[in-house]
């Protein structure tokens, strides 16, 4: 199994878990659970999303931005220069850190 596929499989697992956590929060609201317990779960999902973001962004830099113009670049191929790719990374980072 090549890394790409492995990374993708892990990403799917993480997103499944996040979807499950969100469903759990919905149940907590339905059951009128204590607000602070709900907030704790919301903070947990937020952290999980951040981890996925860090993972995905690093993979993107590794395989698409650095690997630009090489065979290793897979579906990321877009008609962009490496400079444009770096600029795009900056934009997406700014969406997390603002």
List residues binding a copy of itself (CB under 8 A). Answer: 8, 11-12, 15-16, 18-19, 22-23, 25-26, 29-30, 32, 34-36, 38-40, 42-47, 49-62, 64-66, 75-76, 78, 82-83, 86, 88-90, 92-98
| Residue 24: CB minimum distance to a copy of itself, A | 10
| Residue 22: CB minimum distance to a copy of itself, A | 5
| Residue 13: CB minimum distance to a copy of itself, A | 11
Closest of 44, 41, 18, 9 to residue 28, by C-alpha: 41
- Rounded distance, CA 56 to CA 68, Å? 16
Secondary structure tally for the chain: helices H, strands E: 3, 0
In contact, 71 and 19? CB cutoff 8 Å: no
């Amino acid at each position: 199994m090549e890394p790409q596929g492995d990374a993708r499989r892990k990403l799917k697992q993480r997103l499944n878990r996040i979807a499950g956590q969100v469903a759990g929060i919905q149940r907590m609201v339905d059951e009128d659970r204590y607000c602070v317990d709900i907030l704790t779960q919301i903070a947990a999902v937020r952290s999980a999303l951040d981890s996925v973001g860090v993972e995905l962004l690093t993979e993107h830099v590794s395989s698409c931005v650095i690997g630009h113009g090489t065979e290793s670049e897979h579906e990321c191929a877009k008609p962009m220069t490496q400079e444009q790719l770096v600029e795009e990374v900056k934009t997406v980072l700014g969406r997390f850190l603002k």
